[in-house]
Amino acid sequence: MRDECHIVGASVAGGDIAQCDLVVLGVTALGDLGGRAAITRAGARPGDVVAVTGRLGWAAAGLALLEAGHRESSEPDLARAMDEVIGAHRRPAPPYSCGPEAAALGATAMLDVSDGLIQDIGHIAAASGVGVEIDPAAFEVPGPVGVAGRFLGVDPLDWMLTGGDDHALAAVFPVGIGLPAHWTVIGEVIEGAGVQVDGRVYDRSGWNHFQGKL
């Protein structure tokens, strides 16, 4: 959902473009919607609610531990947390089935969270010509992410708002739709532009493929 490509004759133009110092092998899968209308980034309207499903902050916590040189611990709770978040960083688990589910529920806009929640929600805001207000009180910090945050002296909410690579799903729904329990409403669509957290612009938004973390 993040990257766009266009089929031209028998070739593919566009796709996942990034900068890297290593040789990376990429795989592209092509499919269709079986005649159904696509849910794009451009359908959000003021008054809609923004919801997410899947993991947030786990991969960022695992990466932070690895970058700090921490891979194991003799303390049982910390060791378990390290295993879980580092495992999440190395082996993401996208909630694939929730995409069709969101469409069936009436989602007006949708994308995956690969570069940071604020940045990716910002793509919906820009495409839809609206603003988004995120409520930080709506987030429940997962246990392993909280343990890693305390160990590193980091606010785990920062990982949840700006960390990428969990590949959670974010979608916008008309107000009043009853969402399943695995969806969490985290904000609303408003008039304006950009993404705000508790009424202010967040210091960092997410990952930039050519400049790194912002």
Question: What local confidence, expressed as pLDDT, does residue 18 receive?
Answer: 67
Name the superfamily (CATH) of residues 37-213.
PurM-like C-terminal domain (3.90.650.10)
With CA atoms as reference, report the closest residue to 158 among 167, 148, 168: 148
What's 54's DSSP letter? Answer: S
Does the pTM surpass 0.85? The reply is no
- Residue 100 pLDDT: 93
**Is the model's pLDDT at 199 over the cut of 70?**
yes
Identify the CA nearest to 64 among candidates 40, 48, 51, 81.
Answer: 81
Q: Both tokens of residue 173?
A: 């729904």
Residue 207 pLDDT grade (very low, low, confident, very high; cuts 50, 70, 90)? low
Q: What integer is the mean pLDDT of 35-48?
A: 93
Q: Are 192 and 131 in contact (CB under 8 A)?
A: yes
Query: CA–CA separation, 152 vs 197, rounded Å?
Result: 23
User: What does the pLDDT look like over 93-145, one tens digit per residue?
Assistant: 999 999 999 999 999 999 999 999 999 999 999 999 999 999 999 999 999 99
Give tens-digit pLDDT for 135-182.
Answer: 999 999 999 999 999 999 999 999 999 998 999 999 999 999 999 999
Whether 4 shows a pLDDT value over 70: the answer reads no
pLDDT of residue 93: 94
Phi-psi region of 206 (alpha: psi -120 to 50; beta: other; left: phi over 0): left
Q: Where are the domains of the chain?
A: 37-213
